[in-house]
Amino acid sequence: MSELEINHVYKDYKLGNKSKFNALNDINISFEKGELVSIIGESGSGKSTLMNLIGGLDSDYTGEIKIGGIDLKTFKEKQLDDYRKKKIGFVFQSFNLIPHLSILDNVTIALTLSDVKESVKLEKAKTILAKLGLENQLKKKPTQLSGGQKQRVAIARALINDPDIILADEPTGSLDSATTLQILDIMKEIADDGKLVIMVTHSEKVASISSRVVELADGKIIRDEIKPDYQKNEHKDKLVEEKAEETTEEKGGNKPKKEKHLSVYSAVRLSLHNMWASRTKNFLMALGVTISLISMILMLAFGSGLTGYIDSLAQSYSNPTIVTVNKVDEMADDPSGGMGGLGGEIMSLLNPTPFTDEEIPQIIENINSALEEKYPNIEYRVSQDDIKYGFSAATGITKSASINFTVDGEEKSSNIFYLYTTPPYYTEEQMLAGELAGQPKLDEESGEMLGEIMVSAKIASEMGLENYEDAIGQIVTVKASYGQFPNAISIEQKCKITGIVDVSMFETMLVAYLDYDYFDSMVTANGGTLSPTSLYIQTDSEATTDTINLILSGMQGYTGSVENQMASMFTEMLSTFSIALAIIAGISLIVAMIMILVVLYMSVSERTREIGVLKSIGARKRDIKKIFTTESFLIGLFSGLVGIVFAGVVGGLLVLLFNSILGFAPLSFHWYYFLLALGLSVVISVLAGLYPASKAAKLDPVESLRHE
């Protein structure tokens, strides 16, 4: 039985237009161990094609290729990968070393693919490299070696797994004559060590030292000459140790050991080498991801920061032991109504509906019975004494309220957009300046009884005052009308401004506040009856307040305080806004993902040759996929880490900036934003890497090796 037997092998290359090109035509030949075979022939005669078939790189042929009596055609993909890894050693004309790996890593790559221990790898590589005179080059990169050195490295790589057959396709084609002789000596030595060496060559001189010359022409063998005078050089120091010796460690016990493959550690190491080799490109790509991650984190932080700020503002305007009840415009509750949803809520805020006299006892009753039925733990019951009234009207719409004042002897007027009565929980702490307005008092200067009013800073500026504090103490005439035409009552009253209300987010509004009892007495004095638009229930505890608020939210037609309503409206608007921002950030992430995809895709075509080499060495599809996926994972991880660090730094700076300008920072960072960003970065990178990785895995090894 021959080591290698080829029977009736035909190879056709399929050309585009359904035609074929016949590259090998009925090849019949067999080879034995220890032969040093030169294959010669014109360019295009089919030499490389034959080598690729023997090497298991190309399975698309007819006929038999038997290795040790076993037909290659019977091999499954896995066995074929294994065959390339263990049985065959390839040496190429253009060396095909992997540029970003060290000499040591290049030589041991086949062992890496089998997950051999580092120490064993180093030991083997050192031995072989020493025999080839390269013991001092372990750490170098391929570009730092001469052509002859590179080819010796390639030979070391081919020998590392102690294959039975060495296939060398024009190994001396790129070398000068002196180096050619060196390489030929090595090839001869390998053959003399008992391996089958098949070498493609152009030169008759190279052929002349071999033990056998096979000549191809147009896909046929036209000469097969065995040299009777071939001198086998016996030498002690074999290039590769005997197979049995070195595999004892792997064989171990009696159980057939599971075949080992590229480990995650090695995949990471290989990826890191390559990423470092193209670090500028990777850095720029990471920058793109980083920017979208930073914007995503900042947008989330702004969203939650602003919401939190508005919530806390609403909190500061309410008292935890007071329940506010307002009526909701019917339209707001009717989803089919034109003013449903947010629009309806705004309408009911602008035009609060007054409570009727019968309604208030009914509300008390409803709340109390709900408390009794559903909340046995709460002893508190609402009584009429706990209730204070409030009134508010968006007078600006009908221009039914205004403030008249005198500037430099000239009469001026400003509308009051909102006329409110001061809620019972409102304190001077919540005002910008001055005191709460109360009952009319005797003014010492004029000897008149003057009403009291608070205004917003905007009204102060309407009065032509630079500082709103200057409005305090000013005497103005307040004109308001109350009720519906024709029963509307006109009120005109001289008032003194006692304080400036803080309307924070509605700072551009013309707002005035009066004491409820005072407003009531004015309406009554003019022949009307004031109906409240708000009820304030003083409860016994925060828990009771929360419970009653819950009961109210289940009662048709009623709602909580204006401030809370406004706050919830704002947070609702804000969350819509944050969703929009998040979508933008999401789009930028998708863009980053496409960018990663493009870069990885390009890197696959840049590394086509490398992939071909890996496959010729026995890398499985899965190994190639693993290397590329690991790389995209690492890109995602690095970009993510850089992104969150930068987001932290930028976020911190923004917080400082906002604090120094506004006195508060509308950003709040949660740890899970960073985790989310990191996770997303890894996920999108891995997703983006899937396609290039599977493309790389599917590359045809022969074509890849031919790739320029």
Work out the number of other CB atoms within 10 angstroms of the CB of residue 445.
8
Residue 218 or 517 having the CB closest to ligand ADP? 218
Among residue numbers 21 through 40, which ones bind ligand ADP (CB under 6 A)? 21, 23
Residue 43 or 384 having the CB closest to ligand ADP? 43
628, amino acid identity: F
Instruction: Indicate which single residue of 43, 143, 487, 660 sits in contact with ligand ADP (rule: CB under 6 A).
Output: 43
User: By CB under 6 A, is residue 222 in contact with ligand ADP?
Assistant: no
User: By CB under 6 A, is residue 473 in contact with ligand ADP?
Assistant: no
Of 1-9, 41-49, 64-72, 674-682, the segment contacting ligand ADP by CB under 6 A is 41-49
Q: Is 138 exposed, middle or buried (0-12, 13-18, 19+ CB in 10 A)?
A: middle
Number of residues that bind ligand ADP (CB under 6 A): 11
CA-to-CA dists, residue 430 to 457, 489, 503, angstroms: 14, 32, 9
Which of helix, strand or coil describes residue 27?
A: strand
Rounded to a whole number of angstroms, the minimum distance from the CB of residue 25 to ligand ADP is 11
Q: Binding partner of residue 607 among Mg ion, ligand ADP, none, CB under 5 to 8 Å per kind?
A: none
- Report the alpha-carbon distance of residue 284 to residue 52 in Å, rounded: 39
In this structure, what DSSP letter does residue 45 have? S
User: By CB under 6 A, is residue 48 in contact with ligand ADP?
Assistant: yes
Q: Binding partner of residue 377 among Mg ion, ligand ADP, none, CB under 5 to 8 Å per kind?
A: none
Q: Binding partner of residue 21 among Mg ion, ligand ADP, none, CB under 5 to 8 Å per kind?
A: ligand ADP
Rounded to a whole number of angstroms, the minimum distance from the CB of residue 131 to ligand ADP is 30
Handedness of CA 700, 701, 702, 707 (dihedral sign): positive
Task: With residue 349 as reference, give the H or E element that holds it.
Answer: helix 341-350
User: By CB under 6 A, is residue 223 in contact with ligand ADP?
Assistant: no
Question: 263 near 111, Cβ under 8 Å?
Answer: no
Q: Binding partner of residue 434 among ligand ADP, Mg ion, none, CB under 5 to 8 Å per kind?
A: none
Residue 171 or 640 having the CB closest to ligand ADP? 171
In this structure, what DSSP letter does residue 330 have? H
Rounded to a whole number of angstroms, the minimum distance from the CB of residue 48 to Mg ion is 3
Which of helix, strand or coil describes residue 413?
A: strand
Instruction: Indicate which single residue of 6, 27, 35, 46 sits in contact with ligand ADP (rule: CB under 6 A).
Output: 46
Residue 48 or 172 having the CB closest to Mg ion? 48
**The two three-digit tokens of residue 541, written as one number:** 């505890």
**The two three-digit tokens of residue 59, written as one number:** 């399975």
Q: Binding partner of residue 13 among ligand ADP, Mg ion, none, CB under 5 to 8 Å per kind?
A: ligand ADP
Which residues does residue 4 pair with via DSSP β-bridges, in sequence order?
31, 67
Cα–Cα–Cα angle for 614, 617, 620, nearest 5°? Answer: 65
Q: Is 447 exposed, middle or buried (0-12, 13-18, 19+ CB in 10 A)?
A: exposed
Rounded to a whole number of angstroms, the minimum distance from the CB of residue 614 to ligand ADP is 20
Residue 21 or 276 having the CB closest to ligand ADP? 21
Cβ within 8 Å of residue 222, ≥6 positions away: 215, 216
Task: With residue 299 as reference, give the H or E element that holds it.
Answer: helix 279-316
User: By CB under 6 A, is residue 172 in contact with ligand ADP?
Assistant: no
Residue 22 or 233 having the CB closest to ligand ADP? 22
State the residue for tokens 């008149």. 448
Residue 49 or 400 having the CB closest to Mg ion? 49
Instruction: Indicate which single residue of 3, 36, 47, 355 sits in contact with ligand ADP (rule: CB under 6 A).
Output: 47
Residue 21 or 664 having the CB closest to ligand ADP? 21
Residue 48 or 539 having the CB closest to Mg ion? 48
Q: Binding partner of residue 265 among Mg ion, ligand ADP, none, CB under 5 to 8 Å per kind?
A: none
- Report the alpha-carbon distance of residue 77 to residue 620 in Å, rounded: 8
User: By CB under 6 A, is residue 20 in contact with ligand ADP?
Assistant: no
Backbone angles phi, psi at 174, to 5 degrees: -105, 15
- Report the alpha-carbon distance of residue 29 to residue 31 in Å, rounded: 7
Nearest partner of 56 among 607, 706, 618, 610, judged by Cα: 618
Of 45-53, 291-299, 648-656, 688-696, the segment contacting ligand ADP by CB under 6 A is 45-53
- Report the alpha-carbon distance of residue 3 to residue 422 in Å, rounded: 104
According to the 3-state scheme, what is the secondary structure of 172-218? CCCCCHHHHHHHHHHHHHHHHCCCEEEEECCCHHHHHCCCEEEEEEC
Instruction: Indicate which single residue of 38, 45, 108, 685 sits in contact with ligand ADP (rule: CB under 6 A).
Output: 45
Handedness of CA 142, 148, 151, 157 (dihedral sign): negative
Rounded to a whole number of angstroms, the minimum distance from the CB of residue 98 to ligand ADP is 23
Give the count of alpha carbons within 13 A of 619, CB side only.
28
Rounded to a whole number of angstroms, the minimum distance from the CB of residue 219 to ligand ADP is 7
Instruction: Indicate which single residue of 44, 68, 473, 554 sits in contact with ligand ADP (rule: CB under 6 A).
Output: 44
Residues engaged in binding Mg ion (CB under 5 A): 48
Rounded to a whole number of angstroms, the minimum distance from the CB of residue 106 to Mg ion is 23
User: By CB under 6 A, is residue 121 in contact with ligand ADP?
Assistant: no
User: By CB under 6 A, is residue 265 in contact with ligand ADP?
Assistant: no
User: By CB under 6 A, is residue 49 in contact with ligand ADP?
Assistant: yes
Q: Binding partner of residue 56 among Mg ion, ligand ADP, none, CB under 5 to 8 Å per kind?
A: none
Name the residues that contact ligand ADP, by CB under 6 A.
Answer: 13, 21, 23, 41, 43-49
